[in-house]
Every structure is written in structure tokens, then in C-alpha cells.
Amino acid sequence: MSGRAHPNTLGVRFRRALDTTLPAGYRPLEGPVVLRLRFVFGRGGTKLAVPVNEPALEELVRSVTHELAGVAYADARQVAAIHAGKEYGNVNGIEARW
């Protein structure tokens, strides 16, 4: 995940990584799902405590929930709660738990 990438591009890259990480035979969950999403960006010289110039959190969440549908859970309507945040870190990435 790079600094100014478009959320849809991030979602597609996330999906590719997800496809290679899930165990063989993994089946989408049924029933209500709670998502925990963490978006990590490189600091890039800024002194701000949290990323405010990156894509909007809402756009990032929408992109990832779209890519998780049919993989982590059958349909996005199953998502009952989302806990999400953006932060700075040493390695760019997306952490998703469900």
C-alpha cells in the first residue's frame, strides 16, 4: 500500500494478497460479521500524529469491505459492525480481522 494510492487500487491489491493468504478450502462466513480494519501508512516526513492527507477512512473501508465480500463473508450485508482506523507505521499495509 503506497501513500497516495486510490482506495479502489488498494482494495484490489488487498484482495490479491488475501487470495494468497487464506488457507485452502476456506469458506465465507455465514451470519453477522464484525470487521476490524487497520490501515498503516508511511510517515513521509510529516509531524502529524495520524494520517489526514491519505484517502478518507470511509473510502478505504468501503474498498476493503467490497473485496472481502464473497471471500471472508458471503455478502457485505452481513457486516454488523466495523472498527477501523488509520495510523503511521514502518510498513505500509492493511490488517483485516473478522
Per residue in 40-63, pLDDT tens? 998 888 888 888 877 899 999 999
pTM: 0.80
Domains of the chain, by residue range, sit at 7-21+31-97
The residue to which cell 483485516 is assigned: 96
Which residues does residue 11 pair with via DSSP β-bridges, in sequence order?
Answer: none
| Of the candidates 42, 43, 88, 40, the residue with the CA atom closest to the CA atom of residue 64 | 40
- Structure confidence by residue, pLDDT tens digits, 10-49: 777 787 888 788 888 889 999 999 999 999 998 888 888 8
> ∠ CA(24), CA(25), CA(30), 5° rounding?
130
On whether the CB atoms of residues 84 and 35 are closer than 8 A, the answer is yes
